[in-house]
Amino acid sequence: MMMLHLATTGLTPLPLTVLFLIFTALISVFSAQWVATGTLEGAIRWMRRQFPVFLLSIPAVSAIPLLITALTNRFWPGFTLGYFLVYVVAKADQVKYETALTHFLWSDLFKTSDPGKFRELIGHYIRPAFFLPMLLGQVLGNGLIVLASGGIFLVGQGAVIGRILAALAGTGLLVLFWRYGHWVQNPGIRKWLRLPVISSQDYTQNVRLHGTWLAFFAHIHLVAIDQDAPDVYTPEKAELIQSRLMTFAPKITCTPANQGPTPAPSPEKPTLIVLAVEALWDITRIPGLEFSADPLQALRTDYAGDVTASCFAGLTANSEFEFLTGLSIALLHDSACPFIKITHPLPALPAHLRQLGYQTTAIHSYTRTFYDRDKVYPLLGFEQFNGLEELTEQGYARQKGWYVADEALLEPILAQLHQNENPQLIYTLTMQNHGPYAPQRYAPDEIEPQVCPQFPANLNLSEGDRQAVINYTQGVRDSAKLYQSLCQHIEQLDRPVLLLAFGDHLPGIGEHSGYRIMVDAGMAASPQDPALYQVPVFYHANQSAQHIGLPANLALDRTVQGQWPGFNVLGARLLEAAGLPLPELQHLVLDLARSDQAVQADQAVLITEKSASSLSREDLLKTYEWLQYDWLWGQGYTLPK
């Protein structure tokens, strides 16, 4: 009973405050690690093995509760907010990783300038079970605090000064740990505090070694870096890089959008229609699922191969970044999202095509501010961008399920296509099949019988998992109908048109885990299996395009190790198929890809295709990495002026 009457037994405010902070931190950190490890035993094991980190987590977690308590002069608001933030970061990280194999990061909060749309999108992933343990913890913790202290922070003489000092202390701790990712990398500090290394490449390791809260704080600093500077980053090195680029031929000088004159259009240049289809993937790759009708039947004959996405079931903008710029996520830190950090014009695919006389248009059936596309697309060379707002105003935003139907995009694509007969790039990003694939996703009359497969008994799927498969497959069928309609329409045109379609990543299908069905079925051995990152590509050239000598098929090549290329290669391959000149970067990208590829020679001997330039693979890679840093984070020495 003594602990229930601390406030009335003469305990001074300082010890009472220290007890409050330790109590708050212990409950918060323990709950977070319980979520992160999945078991009570796992949380205890983590606290024992990472004891120095656990001790350091106490002041880190205490910063916000102390500040809020000082401002309100009540203990319960500080505990409520502090516990809420730590728990939500841990739970959001768990849900996101189970669904999409990516972590919940500081940068996730800045993927749209429209907070309402962000809440709408992530709200589909929130389940009642998300908050129930947290509410129990809130009731228990606040109940004990009120019983022990009466809920009052400071009273009597000196209360104001005490609250000011407490607020300053809380602010100081918050600022200190806000920079955790910076000072924890100092070897001397790590040795003194006996802390593990913080990794810029492995966020999962950071969570395991530092806990969810400190890992989250560390990423505030790491996300500002994204890519390490080259060993030599000087204007003199830029001259060497430029001279290396001169080894590529044929080439043209490509300048960013809105700079320089636009060449006269050529009637022989094909119009390019690109469909970046949300989560488009071949679900028949899951062993045991048997459909009465192939969901991808309309696309099969146009299959060109696969490309390797950088993420599973999320981060669409990373796939866009690689395709549109020719740059690579592989050179960046773990979980980076460079798309939202583009702040100046880049010589990307749309900008390059504009210099060739193309009209460039982007269409997206979701809000234009998500991933800052309204700001980034113009910097990549798009003259026009129609987002959900414009599609709604023009009467094209017919919904199916939670989002605009893929088939509804046929009208705005055709409207843009027929604006004039000059060559165009029409880049369309769909949204209908975005996860999660929850049971309430579609109305009963929106589900076709063909999307309901025979489920193998060995998978032991829940009803929610089965419905997720059905809902996802319905989206695939609708995407295939859009593709088929476009193919039929462009075949009626007497001008060359190329249609390229691809998925941005695999879907996270399941009631509680996005990848479990695929692993349990034997399609993938683990969450790190390359099969979880390979998405199909489809290519169609109309008869008019084939008549002028453009290829009827597009065959993507595997590497010597049997892996598919990344999205950064796909833009260059499209330019090749269109018979268009490539900028220097795209030549470099293709040379790098060819250095990893093998072709069949006589007697089935594998030989490596020679690079188009005289550079070794190591020089190619160093040049590519140097250029990417210079364009995105450096001084832009090699950007076209």
Please tell me whether residues 209 and 327 are part of one structural domain: no
Domain stop point among 170, 204, 222: 222
Q: How far is CA 87 from CA 55, 90, 92, in A?
A: 18, 5, 8
pLDDT recorded at residue 154: 83
254, part of any domain: no
Tokens at 446, concatenated:
């929106």
Please tell me whether residues 29 and 103 are part of one structural domain: yes
pLDDT recorded at residue 261: 40
Cα separation, 211 vs 487, in Å, equals 51
Domain stop point among 578, 607, 622: 578
The domain of 72 spans 2-222
Q: How far is CA 321 from CA 200, 327, 336, 348, 570, in A?
A: 20, 7, 11, 9, 12
Cα separation, 166 vs 170, in Å, equals 6
Please tell me whether residues 481 and 427 are part of one structural domain: yes
27, part of any domain: yes
Q: What would the pLDDT profile of 531-540 be if each residue is shown by its tens digit?
A: 999 999 999 9
**Strands in 397-494 per DSSP E:** 399-400, 403-404, 424-429
Q: What would the pLDDT profile of 567-576 be if each residue is shown by its tens digit?
A: 999 999 999 9
> β-strands 359-364, 606-608: how paired?
unpaired
DSSP states along 38-67? SSHHHHHHHHHHTHHHHHHHHHHHHHHHHH
Answer yes or no: are the C-beta atoms of 416 and 273 closer than 8 Å.
Answer: no
Domain stop point among 191, 222, 253: 222
Tokens at 114, concatenated:
């429209």
Please tell me whether residues 26 and 92 are part of one structural domain: yes
Answer yes or no: are the C-beta atoms of 62 and 25 closer than 8 Å.
Answer: yes
Please tell me whether residues 373 and 281 are part of one structural domain: yes
Cα separation, 420 vs 384, in Å, equals 15
Tokens at 43, concatenated:
């949380």
Cα separation, 524 vs 504, in Å, equals 19
Residue 401 DSSP one-character state: T
Mean pLDDT across the chain:
87
Tokens at 269, concatenated:
């240049």
Of 83-92, 261-270, 415-424, 469-478, minimum mean pLDDT range: 261-270
613: pLDDT strictly greater than 90:
no
602, part of any domain: no
Task: Categorize the per-residue pLDDT at 460 as very low, low, confident or very high, splitting at 50, 70 and 90.
Answer: confident
DSSP states along 480-526? HHHHHHHHHHHTT-SS-EEEEEEESS----SSS-SSHHHHHTTS-SS
Please tell me whether residues 192 and 267 are part of one structural domain: no
What average pLDDT does range 321-337 have in this prediction? 89
618, part of any domain: no
Task: Categorize the per-residue pLDDT at 265 as very low, low, confident or very high, splitting at 50, 70 and 90.
Answer: very low
Element (H, E) at 141: helix 128-149
Q: What would the pLDDT profile of 383-431 be if each residue is shown by its tens digit?
A: 999 999 999 999 999 999 999 999 999 999 999 999 988 999 999 999 9
Sign of CA dihedral 382, 505, 609, 241: positive
Cα separation, 22 vs 34, in Å, equals 18
Please tell me whether residues 217 and 267 are part of one structural domain: no
440, part of any domain: yes
462: pLDDT strictly greater than 80:
yes
Please tell me whether residues 468 and 558 are part of one structural domain: yes
Compute and round to an integer the Cα radius of gyration of the chain.
28
Comparing C-alpha atoms, which of 185, 122, 250, 152 is closest to residue 581?
250
Q: What would the pLDDT profile of 505-559 be if each residue is shown by its tens digit?
A: 999 998 777 899 999 999 999 988 999 999 999 999 999 999 999 999 999 988 7
Please tell me whether residues 200 and 267 are part of one structural domain: no
Answer yes or no: are the C-beta atoms of 277 and 499 closer than 8 Å.
Answer: no
Tokens at 323, concatenated:
């395709």
Q: How many residues are there in the chain?
A: 641
200, part of any domain: yes
| Chain centre distance of CA 475 | 20
Task: Categorize the per-residue pLDDT at 318 as very low, low, confident or very high, splitting at 50, 70 and 90.
Answer: very high
Q: For residue 484, what is the domain's CATH number?
A: 3.40.720.10
630, part of any domain: no
Q: What is the 3 state secondary structure string of 548-598? A: CCCCCCCCCCCECCCCCCEHHHHHHHHHHHCCCCCCHHHHHHHHHHHHCEE
Q: What 3-state class would DSSP assign to 534?
A: strand
Cβ atoms < 10 Å from Cβ of 173 = 19
Count up the domains in the chain and report the number. Answer: 2
Please tell me whether residues 194 and 54 are part of one structural domain: yes
Cα separation, 89 vs 86, in Å, equals 5
**What's phi and psi for 572, nearest 5 deg?**
-65, -40
| Percentage of the residues of the chain whose pLDDT score is greater than 70 | 88
589, part of any domain: no
Q: Give 237 or 124, the one with higher predicted confidence.
A: 237
Cβ atoms < 10 Å from Cβ of 140 = 11
**Strands in 122-209 per DSSP E:** none
pLDDT recorded at residue 426: 98
Please tell me whether residues 209 and 282 are part of one structural domain: no
Beta bridge partners of 503: 277
Q: What would the pLDDT profile of 194-239 be if each residue is shown by its tens digit?
A: 999 988 778 889 999 999 999 999 988 877 778 888 989 999 999 9
Q: What would the pLDDT profile of 142-160 be if each residue is shown by its tens digit?
A: 888 888 877 788 887 778 8
What average pLDDT does range 283-303 have in this prediction? 94
Cα separation, 2 vs 148, in Å, equals 9
State the amino acid at position 591 in one-letter form: D
Please tell me whether residues 29 and 116 are part of one structural domain: yes
**What's phi and psi for 42, nearest 5 deg?**
-65, -40
Which pairs from 416-419 meet CB under 8 Å and 24+ separation? 416/361, 416/363, 417/271, 417/273, 417/497, 419/359
77: pLDDT strictly greater than 60:
yes
pLDDT recorded at residue 10: 45
Tokens at 314, concatenated:
């999320």
